Chain A
Amino acid sequence: MTEVPKIVRQRLGLAKDGPHPDANLLAAFAEKSVTQRERSQIVEHLARCADCRQVVALAVPAQPAPGPVPARVWWLSWPVFRWATAAACVVVVGAAVLLRRHDLEREPAISYSTAKSANVQLTPATGETYSAKKLPEANKKIESKNLPKGSAVGGMVASRGDISGRDRLTSSTELSATAAPSAPSTLDARKSANLPSRTAANITAESSSLEQKADKDERLEAGAGAGAPAAVPAPQPPAATANEVVASRIGKVEPSARAGLAAKRVAPPADATQPQVAEKEIANAPPQKQKQLGMQAGAMAGASSGVFAKVNKAVPSEEELHDQLQKTAASSRWTLTPEGGLQHSVDAGRTWQAAQVPGNAAALHAVCTDGANLWVGGAGGVLYHSADAGSHWLRVTPTVAGKSLTADIVGIEFSTAQAGEISTSTHETWITSDGGATWKIQ
Chain B
Amino acid sequence: MDGQAHVEPSRSLQQLVAELYASSRGETVGIDLQAFVSILQRVAAKYLSPGSGEAEVRELYVSLRVEELALARACAAGNERAWEIFMARYREKLYDIAGYIAQESSAARELADSLYADLYGTTTRDGERVCKLSSYTGRGSLEGWLRTVLAQEFVNRYRKQRRLVSLDEESEEGEQFAAPDPEPPIPLDVRVEQSTDEALAGLSAEDRLVLASYYLDERTLAEIARLLGVHESTISRKLGKLAKSLRKQILAGLGRRGMSRRQAEEALAVDVRDLSLDIRKRLQQETPSQAFPERKAEARAGDGAR
- Which of B200, B231, B237 lies at the interface centre, i.e. has the most chain A CB atoms within 10 A of its CB? B231
With beta carbons under 8 angstroms apart, the residue of B212, B222, B234 that contacts A47 is B212
- Which of B138, B140, B236 lies at the interface centre, i.e. has the most chain A CB atoms within 10 A of its CB? B140
Asked if B67 CB lies within 8 Å of chain A CBs, one says yes
Residues of B within 8 A of A425 (CB): 25, 28
Q: Which B221-275 residues have a C-beta within 8 angstroms of A?
A: 222-223, 225-234, 236-237, 239-240, 242-244, 246-247, 250, 268-269, 271-273
Is there an interface contact between B141 and A27, defined as CB atoms closer than 8 Å?
A: yes
With beta carbons under 8 angstroms apart, the residue of A50, A57, A63 that contacts B216 is A50
Q: Which of B148-156, B168-176, B281-289, B298-306 contacts A (4 or more CB under 8 A)?
A: B148-156
Asked if B206 CB lies within 8 Å of chain A CBs, one says yes
Interface 1/0 per residue, B102-146 and A, CB below 8 Å: 000000000000000000000000000000000111111111110
Is there an interface contact between A68 and B231, defined as CB atoms closer than 8 Å?
A: yes
A59/B271 contact (C-beta < 8 A), A9-B216, A338-B141, A408-B28 known: no
Is there an interface contact between A12 and B236, defined as CB atoms closer than 8 Å?
A: no
Is there an interface contact between B151 and A8, defined as CB atoms closer than 8 Å?
A: no
Is there an interface contact between A56 and B211, defined as CB atoms closer than 8 Å?
A: no
Nearest CB of B to A74, in Å: 13
Residues of A within 8 A of B196 (CB): 5, 7-8, 11
Nearest CB of B to A334, in Å: 15
Is there an interface contact between B231 and A70, defined as CB atoms closer than 8 Å?
A: yes
Q: Which A220-275 residues have a C-beta within 8 angstroms of B?
A: none
Chain A: how many interface residues by the 8 Å CB criterion?
61
Is there an interface contact between A24 and B192, defined as CB atoms closer than 8 Å?
A: no
Is there an interface contact between A12 and B147, defined as CB atoms closer than 8 Å?
A: no
Is there an interface contact between A51 and B155, defined as CB atoms closer than 8 Å?
A: yes
Docked pose: A55 CA to B97 CA in angstroms: 13
Is there an interface contact between A46 and B193, defined as CB atoms closer than 8 Å?
A: no
Nearest CB of B to A39, in Å: 9
Asked if B5 CB lies within 8 Å of chain A CBs, one says no
A67/B234 contact (C-beta < 8 A), A5-B268, A12-B208, A53-B213 known: yes
Chain B: how many interface residues by the 8 Å CB criterion?
76
With beta carbons under 8 angstroms apart, the residue of A1, A23, A340 that contacts B145 is A23
Asked if B58 CB lies within 8 Å of chain A CBs, one says no
Nearest CB of A to B87, in Å: 13
With beta carbons under 8 angstroms apart, the residue of B137, B213, B230 that contacts A65 is B230
Chain B residue at smallest Cβ distance from A62: B100
With beta carbons under 8 angstroms apart, the residue of B67, B85, B230 that contacts A339 is B67
Docked pose: A64 CA to B243 CA in angstroms: 25
Asked if B197 CB lies within 8 Å of chain A CBs, one says yes
A7/B236 contact (C-beta < 8 A), A50-B212, A50-B216 known: no
Asked if A404 CB lies within 8 Å of chain B CBs, one says no
Is there an interface contact between A70 and B234, defined as CB atoms closer than 8 Å?
A: yes
Asked if A214 CB lies within 8 Å of chain B CBs, one says no
Docked pose: A7 CA to B264 CA in angstroms: 12
Is there an interface contact between A12 and B142, defined as CB atoms closer than 8 Å?
A: no
Interface 1/0 per residue, A1-40 and B, CB below 8 Å: 1111111111111010000001111111111111000001
Nearest CB of A to B268, in Å: 5
With beta carbons under 8 angstroms apart, the residue of B200, B206, B216 that contacts A43 is B206
Is there an interface contact between A6 and B152, defined as CB atoms closer than 8 Å?
A: no
A55/B139 contact (C-beta < 8 A), A46-B209, A60-B227, A65-B232 known: no
Residues of B within 8 A of A28 (CB): 139-140, 144
Is there an interface contact between A69 and B236, defined as CB atoms closer than 8 Å?
A: no
Is there an interface contact between A47 and B237, defined as CB atoms closer than 8 Å?
A: no
Is there an interface contact between A59 and B144, defined as CB atoms closer than 8 Å?
A: yes
Is there an interface contact between B140 and A33, defined as CB atoms closer than 8 Å?
A: yes
Docked pose: A10 CA to B271 CA in angstroms: 10
Docked pose: A124 CA to B59 CA in angstroms: 65
Docked pose: A65 CA to B268 CA in angstroms: 35
Is there an interface contact between B226 and A64, defined as CB atoms closer than 8 Å?
A: yes
Is there an interface contact between A2 and B243, defined as CB atoms closer than 8 Å?
A: yes
Is there an interface contact between A7 and B272, defined as CB atoms closer than 8 Å?
A: yes
